[in-house]
Amino acid sequence: MKPKLGISELFPGTGARSGRWSVDAVQLIEEIGYGSVWLPEHVVFFPTYTSQYPYESGGAQEVHKTLGVHDPLVLAGTIAGVTSTLRIGTYVFVVPQRNPIITARQVASIDQLSEGRFEFGVGVGWSEQEYTALDVPFEKRGDRMNDYLAAMRELWSDDEISEYRGEYVDFEPLHCYPKPARSRLPIIVGGNSRATLERIVAFGDGWAGYSRTHEDIKVFIDKLEGLMTAAGREMSELSLKVGRRSKGATEKDWEDDRAYIEEALRLGIDEVVVSPRIGDENYEKDMRRYAEIVGL
């Protein structure tokens, strides 16, 4: 049985990856047989960082040398128009940085255009500099995110008129259209903290973990199951995903990815989102070889 795999690719819109590169890449990703493509999100990057990157060193090195990425919601709409089966998601969208009414409308539009193939991966972010540049308070970003998610659920409801009163979002009765293609658009909550667990239970349809050991995964799932049971929810309601960034670009590194994937799936993960970070020179050839090695 083939593993259920998504792929998180870097879509910077610069150099060799400018122009139609992103379109060609996602069509290749779909043709190879990946189930989903996940789009990273930072509005801006910085030459140097004062905030510490919270995950593994390889990801930190990539963040520090990245100039930018395509806006994930703009790119998701484009992907919806050039693919037919590929699920599309954000991994993850920094919710507290943007107006929730605008975000809700954009996400619902993508879900309609993709005929229900969009999954909204969300997180609070880690870069205080990014929040400062956007003139959004960094403090209490978790509380702000919770309020935004609750407001978006209201805006996506089948009700013709939406109204919400909260600490960070407050709007009078209004029409917010279009509505998503599905009655419940999936919110996949990123992070590894206690707050992440609570947010999944309150708002989520899944978990987007990243750079977790197998022991980390087991502990997180056990905690999540206990909280879901206490809240009267079933684990079957959730899609559990974990991101895996390759440690290198050799076939041995890719074989290590396969071993990681197999064990993660055995532990109850539904989908591993791989990031092989294939170079530009032999992109298609190496992408196909990677897929062979990890068993896709």
* Cα–Cα distance measured from residue 177 to residue 161, given in angstroms and rounded to the nearest whole number: 10
Helix (H, G, I), strand (E, B) or coil at 2: coil
pLDDT in tens, 237-281: 999 999 999 999 899 999 999 999 999 999 999 999 999 989 999
* Cα–Cα distance measured from residue 240 to residue 189, given in angstroms and rounded to the nearest whole number: 10
pLDDT in tens, 47-79: 999 988 877 766 777 888 899 999 999 999 999
Span 197-225, average pLDDT = 97
Residue 100 has pLDDT above 70, yes or no: yes
pLDDT in tens, 15-34: 999 999 999 999 999 999 99
Q: Which two tokens stand for residue 223?
A: 């905690």
Q: Cis (ω within 30 of 0) for the bond into 12?
A: no
Distance, CA of 222 to chain centre? 22
So what's the pLDDT on residue 1? 60
The helix (run of H) or strand (run of E) holding residue 244 is strand 239-245
